[in-house]
Amino acid sequence: MKFGVIGSGSWGTALVKILTEGGHDVIWCVRSEKIASHIQQRHHNPKYLSTVYFSTEKLKLTTNPGELYDDAEAVVLAVPSAYAESYILPYKEKINSGLLFISAVKGMLPEKNMLLNEFLNNEIGFDQNNYLTIMGPCHAEEVAAEKLSYLTFAGKDVAVVEKISSAFKSPYINTRISHDVMGVQYAAVLKNIYAMGAGISHGLGYGDNFLSVFIANAAGEMKSFLHSICSNPTSTMSGANSKVNYSSSVYLGDLLVTCYSLFSRNRSFGNMIGKGYSVESAKLAMQMVAEGLPASKSIYTMNGSLGASMPIALSIYRILWEGLDAAEGFEEIESALV
């Protein structure tokens, strides 16, 4: 099967590694001709996961998404959510021609407050049976080091999900299948917000004892939100499976690793906020997108109509977007924890 991958950050680079080592032909759309030339000549990404070596026998490089949509059978989008729209709307005719679309985006489209499949459905009428997501828990850095990791593939069509998940399976990648397409995406959005909170708590000087209570409560808050959006009659998740195991890897596991791991950019961003950085200075220092920042605003806006009890997410939103002092915000969180 021929795959296209859009995105030359760490996650996109890790996914190209998995696919090419699995013997699949990949056309990889990278950000610039300079990056493409470097990978072609020196066989590694100059900016991300530079220890990963690529055999270019299975790899074609381009900077033109249109070329990728023409050549690939399945396209993986692995870019920050804020940039997703620019890789879709100009190519909507190509995308809507029976192509499989696989989202590795772990955020909502800012301002629109939509998940990617909702956007595809609203904007181009994309067949949802051809849409899948790839979710963790899985840090790109550990994929590069070939440490055993788990990926969950969620989609509506059982045969399609099984086919795609098998393409990613390797000695260091175990795959799992889910049909909770909306739930796993919302869980990925929420875990980034809570990871920001975990980082803020560390920057403020809280210890592991507090963090364990914080994460336990965040898991409960996540479950409450997912139940609320499932039971909302106007929601695209209405009627979703109420028997979902929220303790499984794609929900609780991804929350844990994103809150605890030093590889987590959302935790790192939050840590700077806790240490006194402004949001703008933290963004400059990171030089990478932390999805938890726009996600906190999207979830806050959505929950205005849902009314789920989310004191942790609310305080994190107020710290990031309303200028609430981080220490004061965590005093509020302390009083809400059980």
Domain shared by 220 and 163, yes or no: no
CA–CA separation, 295 vs 190, rounded Å? Answer: 7
CATH code, domain carrying 253: 1.10.1040.10
Domain shared by 111 and 170, yes or no: yes
Task: Please tell me the total count of domains within the chain.
Answer: 2
End-of-domain residue from the set 151, 179, 207: 179
pTM (2 d.p.): 0.92
Cα 231 to chain center, whole Å?
A: 24
Domain shared by 40 and 147, yes or no: yes
CA–CA separation, 138 vs 38, rounded Å? Answer: 26
pLDDT at res. 238: 45
Domain shared by 159 and 207, yes or no: no
End-of-domain residue from the set 126, 147, 179: 179
Q: What is the per-residue burial (b if ≥16 Cβ within 10 Å, else e) of 251-273?
A: bbbbbbbbbbbeebbbbbbbbbb
Domain shared by 307 and 215, yes or no: yes
CATH code, domain carrying 15: 3.40.50.720
Domain shared by 274 and 158, yes or no: no
Domain shared by 191 and 146, yes or no: no
For residue range 115-151, list pLDDT tens digits in order.
Answer: 999 999 999 999 999 999 999 899 999 999 999 999 9
pLDDT at res. 227: 86
Mean pLDDT, consecutive 10-residue stretches, the chain (338 aa), reads 94 96 95 93 92 90 94 95 93 86 93 92 92 93 95 95 96 95 94 97 97 97 88 54 79 95 93 96 86 94 91 97 97 96
End-of-domain residue from the set 137, 161, 179: 179
CA–CA separation, 222 vs 202, rounded Å? Answer: 21
Domain shared by 239 and 267, yes or no: yes
Structural domain boundaries, residue 251: 182-336
pLDDT at res. 286: 84
Domain shared by 128 and 192, yes or no: no
pLDDT at res. 237: 44
Domain shared by 166 and 247, yes or no: no
Domain shared by 10 and 112, yes or no: yes
Domain shared by 214 and 269, yes or no: yes
